[in-house]
A and B are shown apart, each in its own frame.
Chain A
């Protein structure tokens, strides 16, 4: 993914170091030496496999029907098919719905958790009794292991017979004299909202933490001055707080989006992509294609398409991060 880094080459400010003219080759390598182990390790572990994925994406390869050609000694494929797998990716119904589900899941989760996170951050920016404790309790959903929280939602909250949601509905109905409240099978009836709700619960604290830090970084003297000049709370929020918060909102949105595009745990644990393929997103679809359908070529092509999609999002993300970064180093 070196392409993403390259787009920033021109924008980057010169390094803040005075480089004496005629710096020797040797001293330059002395500077580079501490960097090299990390750089080489990262390239080997992250870039090389991706190049291999690109290679496999041009092959017809199913390990259950092994061919007679060896691919780098890793296994035997049937034939070289050029871009055929990509044609499949773009025409296959399942994959197209996986793309749409990925977008729905990401936009839904990030959008809702951002709004909730902003609301909570504004509430927690005020002093009130027990604020420290409230903040601690609010972080908890983000610290629960994602697989554990997905299973918790599926079984302890959504379950139609003994889940907390139906149990609470039932208790409220009984309070008003009914025999039994309505039973809602959340996961089967509303699969996508169920997954999104569980993820929103998990990601709202993340948004809240970054946005709260942003609110607390507001220069108090400016707020004070605005208040002295007679600006009311709404105006201060609209003209001072929001512009100040813009970069924090962008940062949390984009970091959240990067993680949720790659989301696997909740889909795997709550719905297994179902019913049918109603909640199958790209990572889960690729996982199935790789390990159940065993279509290596097709899975790799889908992987490459996912990466390209992510690069598009990531380019925006990098622009935001680099603006924060440069501001700090200028």
Chain B
């Protein structure tokens, strides 16, 4: 195998695939990137057996061939080489030489036939959507994914394809973020899946603001084809909790808030929360909210926010991070906070299909 490639292109290609490679692995070949040269391009592939990514980079291929090389080491070298033109040559023993201007590197690879093949997607159900739409939806939901590995069905985003709508849901059991989008697909393609966090993170890295993404899914695998990349992942097996039942059917109070103002007030007050007293108290009075925090060992903070509110006085407490995360990831100017009482879930909406359910905190005296 022999090819000439630009530093910029090669580096970008490697950066798109190298995050999948895990530092600690039982199979040495999983630390490597599979390189396949042919037809004017080099294909790069990595996998950790659950998630795999491949990408293609233009190259002047002088001799077709394949090998695998240590992914992180290779990326470090390519980042550092002094000229924009890189010549790579691999001999039959998977020893690669990399030349760039005055630099010369020799790295030992492993035979490509031991590299696990990415699954094929025959008989897969196909969906198409705009990359920008998906990117935006993942941004509005992915922060709510649970990191608690004991609740493994929550360690990903739930995708429901139904009635020409894709619904994305993420929750950790304390807050839940959801968005809907209309996309077209035949009724036979309806179904629910859970895509694991790692695949979501990789997908967010690959999604751009233009172009389409082709989604293909089988019963236990999903693939995303976009730009020059393919991302494949196992799906999480298990039953996602019945999240519809936690969305309050009605509300008592609906308060309109300027998103950025509310976020920065909440952020400032949250400086006085602590691990032990990790809650923000919202006290509603006539046309006013007091946002308060109090940590016995540190001190307290309060900020008043003028709003339009005519309901009864009442107070509710939330985890500050859970309150701020959606505000940070939305782009609308206004948000609506809907509340029932201090023990019932609060709902945050804007004028899109976005919905966020937030469980309050009970502060015992």
- Mutual binders A and B: no
